[in-house]
Amino acid sequence: MKTILVVDDAPMIRELLKSVLEAEGYRVLEAADGEEAIQICHNNAIDLSIIDIFLPKKGGLQVMGELIKADSSHKFIAISGGEAFNPEAIVELAKVYDVVDTFTKPIDTRRLVDVVRTALTD
């Protein structure tokens, strides 16, 4: 069973993504901030991380950078609500880390499932 880490400071987003992905047969772990995400990745074999760009304690881009240093094959999907910024511009920044795909909130969960399925069968 493939394991996905969902990192978002909004509990409703984590719950939504967890329920959608578990229904597809994935094991889903959750983190509410960047530091927790790094800890979980060090203690678990993660096949894919879905990371919000704006996180408390450590931002999503910083988390991606640290995880890539530890494992260059780590796969990411970046998400952003944009907060006070243009969400499309923010997720473009994530492409520096060769992300699988990017999503802006509200997340199209059907497209997300398709992207996850493709990423984890490559």
Beta-ladder partners of 7: 31, 51
Q: Rounded to 5 degrees, what are φ and ψ at 115? A: -65, -45
Among 17-21, 23-27, 76-80, whose mean pLDDT is lowest? 76-80
Mean of the per-residue pLDDT values for the chain? Answer: 90
Residues 40-75 have pLDDT tens digits of 999 999 999 999 988 999 999 899 999 999 888 899
**Rounded CA gap, 117 and 114, in Å?**
5
Please indicate whether residue 2 or residue 88 has the higher confidence score (pLDDT): 2
- φ/ψ of residue 28, rounded to 5: -120, 125
Q: Are 9 and 55 in contact (CB under 8 A)?
A: yes
72-91 pLDDT, tens digit each = 889 999 998 755 556 566 66
Tokens 């640290």, residue?
Answer: 66
pLDDT of res. 83 = 56
Provide the token pair at 91: 């997720």
With CA atoms as reference, report the closest residue to 58 among 39, 72, 82.
39
Statement: the pTM of the whole predicted model exceeds 0.85:
yes
